[in-house]
Amino acid sequence: MRRLGLLVSLLVAALITTGCGTQTDEVNVYSARKEALIKPLLDRFSEQTGTTVNLITGSADALVERMKAEGEHSPADVLITVDAGRLYRAQQEGLLAATSSQELDRQVPPALREPEGRWFGLSVRGRVIVYAPDRVDPANLSTYEALADEQWADRICIRSSDNIYNQSLVASLIAHDGEQATREWAEGLVANMARDPVGGDRDQIKAVAAGDCDLAVVNTYYLGMMQADQDDETRDIAHRVRVFWPNQDGRGIHVNISGAGVAANAPNPDNAQKLLEFLVSDASQQWYAETNHEYPVRPGVPTSELLQSWGEFKQDDLPLVKLGELNADAVKVMDQAGWK
């Protein structure tokens, strides 16, 4: 009987071990990126590693709330989202684990990752000025700060103050110029708006093309997607504007990221880390540039002909964690300035 009991115990242990092995052959991804902008890479990861990727998509806020509600029983292994401000929020909620990876530290520049390894940039986009070349002389453009000048009265389109991309831009200005100077800048920008903020970045580009305003502040990848769109009208609209890189004589353009972190309660943390390392590999970084029209986080990785056509630029090396740390101050400044 004792031998039979021992055999049963060994069999149960073997079954448990097998079950655990099956679990480690998968990774569960919560992504705030649209499926088309991330799934092809996840499929490549599965093909190369044999690891099954279970993908759940949704808005960043909804996914964060879901992870909070699920608590320690959350199946999430990886959270992928856009904007360092959102990643910082997830970090502050205790939803992301500190990840130690020599590969991630080597491939992702320090400014584009959280110092303790709670999140890492996967791709870069610049928040730039686009303008109508028939109505704006680029020689009159210079910095973000100069958008508050009187010459731009009733000529600027930009998204609302509740947009995280604008909040992060304002946070970067606070980091560089101080809160008082940024508040004065925001007041000047609001006074120069051609209309109350409405719509997304694509809508701002369309407004410039239609003559509703002469310039707008947008993320580069929105313009890239429009210029590469299969629809002739969309491409035509996007090619009516030009890109201007602000602050090139100083700190460089404000950049932000799409990024990811390993979930604090990840059931498959090893696979989660391997996925992040895969997403900063040469092939993945080139895919971002060719397909999503985003810039690689890694210097030296080739970009698409479309991105190259806009020219080279200098980018701000402000650590992006500051965008999260100063988000509340940015929101306050925008509210005080009357930015709707």
User: Residue ranges for the binding site for Fe cation?
Assistant: 221-222
User: Can you tell me whether residue 330 is helix, strand or coil?
Assistant: helix
CA proximity to 257, closest of 109, 138, 111, 84: 84
Dihedral angle over CA of 298, 85, 334, 59, nearest 10: 110
DSSP state of 193: B
Q: Annotated binding residues, as ranges?
A: 221-222
> How many Cβ atoms from other residues are within 10 Å of residue 67's Cβ?
22
The CA radius of gyration of the chain, in Å to the nearest whole number, is 23
Distance CA 332, CA 340 (A): 12
CA proximity to 173, closest of 185, 159, 189: 185
Q: Which residues contact 211 (CB under 8 A, 6 or more apart)?
A: 132, 135
What is each CA distance from 307 to 39, 241, 289, 294, in whole angstroms?
22, 14, 8, 8
